[in-house]
Amino acid sequence: MIKLSKKQWFILLILVLTFIAMGGILGFVFASLLSFVPAYFYLKSIRDSEKADVEPWETIGLAFVWGALSGIFLAGIFNALGTAFLLVMLVESEAYNLEDIENLTIVLTVVVVAPIVEEFVKPLIMFRNTTVRNEIDEVEDGIVYGAACGLGFGATENVLYGLSEGAVSAGILGIFLIVLLRTFSSILLHLVATSFTGYGIAKYQVEGQSFSIVVKYYLLAVFIHAAWNGLAIYSIQFDSDIGGLLLFAASIMLAISGLEMAKRKIRALDIAGSNIMGTDIRAGSGNEDWSSNKWERTSGWEQKKLRSSSVNTGDYNSNRAGNTADALYDSGSKTPQEMASATTNWAVNFDWRGAIGFVIFLIFILSDIIL
């Protein structure tokens, strides 16, 4: 059972009352179901990508709720403050008319401020909450919890946009179309971007790398978020309706391929085995020299197994604990049959959807430049 803090109950009350005022009780319930049910299945698919060390639902739920409530609340405040600050710094009232200021506000908010603020607040629980922090004892755990934070944020944001004035004025169909489109695009953007930050946080907490690794992946998440938002705005303002539609479709394909990429990375790390101890390294537990005895110590997975026996982690050979993972590729010479098999595996695992989406995106960018 996930327990909300008093602050989160307050935020939930404010959000519910705001959403009901925007779209009525029926619209609020409809948009919420349409947003949060797919988000649950996205989250389940991310969680199930791990086989040897599945994260407990209660802890994943904490990350999801943080993104859905606290993350949204903090982002709303800091987005408004950041945009106002930039407008004061950049805009001179004599040089811009009202329409120019409105357009500049949209660009600054969506492309500049929102990515910086939202990718900062979404994964904060991975530092602040002890329960979540203690569960991150493998590198792939960071991807899982980062994705959970992003999904919670994206689901609440979907309700907000689904109950916007334009969508509500079109009735249930308008709400349905807006939320449905964002379910296959924006919510996945939040999942993918924050999973990068989560990956950096896990490498910091689990592998003991410097904090610069967190900054590196945070900036990557900001870039992905800003690029996607810029692409979305560009597709809306495209001169050709068909071109804009296809460009938007390409962005959706990229978002879906990002989800598959995150799941594939989790599986790869899970197979390889994140064989470093996790948060105990930072705590300095024990008197042994980790650098000299690292292959003799108990793995992070076994520690979590002892800590949470209620989680069904599947079959695992405990004799592998502390050993390096099996090589994924053999550097020796390969027979023609082995090479053919490797080529087939490459073709099957290649991200064709992402590649096709990227090609379509480039075609329309080039056609816009040339024509």
pLDDT at 361 over 60: no
CB 11 within 8 A of CB 76: no
CA–CA dist 123, 48 (Å, integer): 20
Tokens 């068909």 locate to 242
Task: Report if residue 325 sits inside a domain.
Answer: no
Q: Write b or e for each residue in 32-59: b if 16 or more Cβ atoms lie within 10 A of its Cβ, otherwise e.
A: bebbbebbeebbeebbebbebbbbbeeb
pLDDT at 320 over 50: no
Task: Tell which wins on pLDDT, 360 or 116.
Answer: 116
> Residue 152 belongs to what domain range?
6-278+350-370
Please compute the mean of the pLDDT values over residues 266-272 and round it to a whole number.
84
Q: How confident is the model at residue 371 (pLDDT cuts 50, 70, 90)?
A: very low
3-state helix, strand, coil in the chain (%, to 5): 75, 0, 25
- Among residues 261, 267, 233, which one has the least CA distance to residue 355? 261
Please compute the mean of the pLDDT values over residues 80-102 and round it to a whole number.
79
Q: Give the contacts of 93 (CB within 8 A, at least 6 positions apart).
A: none
Task: Report if residue 128 sits inside a domain.
Answer: yes
pLDDT at 69: 96
CA–CA dist 211, 159 (Å, integer): 35
The amino acid at 254: L
DSSP letter (8 states) at residue 354: H
- Among residues 42, 56, 243, which one has the least CA distance to residue 158? 42
Task: Report if residue 298 sits inside a domain.
Answer: no
Count of structural domains, the chain: 1
CA–CA dist 136, 133 (Å, integer): 5
Task: Report if residue 264 sits inside a domain.
Answer: yes
pLDDT at 203 over 80: yes
Task: Report if residue 337 sits inside a domain.
Answer: no
**Residue pLDDT, tens place only, 286-302:** 333 333 343 333 444 44
Average pLDDT of the chain, as a whole number: 77
CB 178 within 8 A of CB 167: yes
Task: Tell which wins on pLDDT, 141 or 281.
Answer: 141
Please compute the mean of the pLDDT values over residues 307-318 and round it to a whole number.
43
**Residue pLDDT, tens place only, 112-127:** 999 999 999 999 999 9
Tokens linked to 117: 């603020």
**Residue pLDDT, tens place only, 165-174:** 888 988 899 9
Task: Report if residue 328 sits inside a domain.
Answer: no
Task: Report if residue 1 sits inside a domain.
Answer: no
Tokens linked to 298: 């108990």
CA–CA dist 96, 79 (Å, integer): 22
Task: Report if residue 358 sits inside a domain.
Answer: yes
pLDDT at 286: 38
pLDDT at 239: 55
pLDDT at 9 over 60: yes
Please compute the mean of the pLDDT values over residues 179-202 and round it to a whole number.
92
pTM of the model: 0.72
